[in-house]
Chains A and B, each alone.
Chain A
């Protein structure tokens, strides 16, 4: 039985607590990296992470790209959508196809 974690700044993730997801508010990237490591080695299969934090922890997150769990999914924070989430999908496409063929129409 796995659980779902939400990681990011407090304002962005607080609402998820009501749904029964576990929220882990962090304020600095260092704390975020530490927390991410703890969550990833634990019982969390899905970790939602705010885009702002994801942008700073790219290296740490990439380490989990090829393992089956956890799935680390960026979500927009309270500060708005930075486009990092869709960038992440674009990265997958580029890795697989060699060039971006899905998203280039909106450039």
Chain B
């Protein structure tokens, strides 16, 4: 046990008591942090779930159309059609602080403001399915970016929650009980020391009185007389 290594001194006792107070306060704060993180996390994760379902549905639709487009156009034509995209998407990353976790916020910008610039080909030689496919993809692009933002936030929050939970548990189940035990040990030891010195003093006092007055001899003498 850890208590075996504690010095049973008054100084150690005050030190431990101070440490315990700090540990208790830290524990309370961390617990609050964990609860708040958890609340935010659950909110985000629910959003994440619905967004993901939407995005996956959208991509599925786009893919269906794309497969159709591939079926009716040759590889070369398709390659040429998508070889030189007109549009470009840039991202700027801001960050938001949620309970000391920095989670990313994406702002995206397109190179050209015209929404029709997603079609990087003339419509003459490609199937209309390709147009549909590209349109579907461009429709869900904002959702996809939002999904990326939220999913990353969820991952970061999850990591932080795990860390915080470990700390809370370590404080609650290991550090604080250990300190309480050490404090108890020191208090007991000090009390015991005090009692033993009290007894020693009483005994010494007895002995000194005995030396000064020789009670036992008097007892003996009186006893003889009577």
Contacts and interface: CB of A to CB of B under 8 A. Distances in A.
B155 A65 contact: yes
Nearest to B78: A14
Interface in A44-96: 45-46, 48, 65-66, 68-69, 71, 73, 75-78, 80-81, 85-86, 88-89, 92-93, 95-96
Contacts of A69: 93, 104
Interface in A1-15: 1-4, 11-12, 14-15
B59 to A, nearest CB: 5
A15 B91 contact: no
B45 interface: yes
* From B70, B78, B85, B106, residue with most partner A Cβ within 10 Å: B85
Interface of B: 38, 41-42, 45-46, 48-49, 52-53, 55-56, 59-60, 62-63, 66-67, 70, 78, 82, 85-93, 95, 102, 104, 106, 108, 110-111, 118-120, 133-134, 137-138, 141, 144-145, 147-149, 151-152, 154-159, 161-162, 165
Interface of A: 1-4, 11-12, 14-21, 45-46, 48, 65-66, 68-69, 71, 73, 75-78, 80-81, 85-86, 88-89, 92-93, 95-98, 102-103
Q: Considering the complex of A and B, which 3 residue pairs feature the smallest CB-CB distances, nearest first?
A: A20-B87, A71-B152, A96-B158
25 contacts: A1-B92, A2-B90, A2-B92, A4-B108, A17-B85, A17-B120, A18-B118, A19-B87, A19-B141, A66-B155, A69-B104, A73-B144, A73-B147, A73-B148, A75-B144, A76-B56, A76-B59, A81-B60, A86-B49, A88-B151, A89-B45, A89-B48, A96-B162, A98-B165, A102-B42
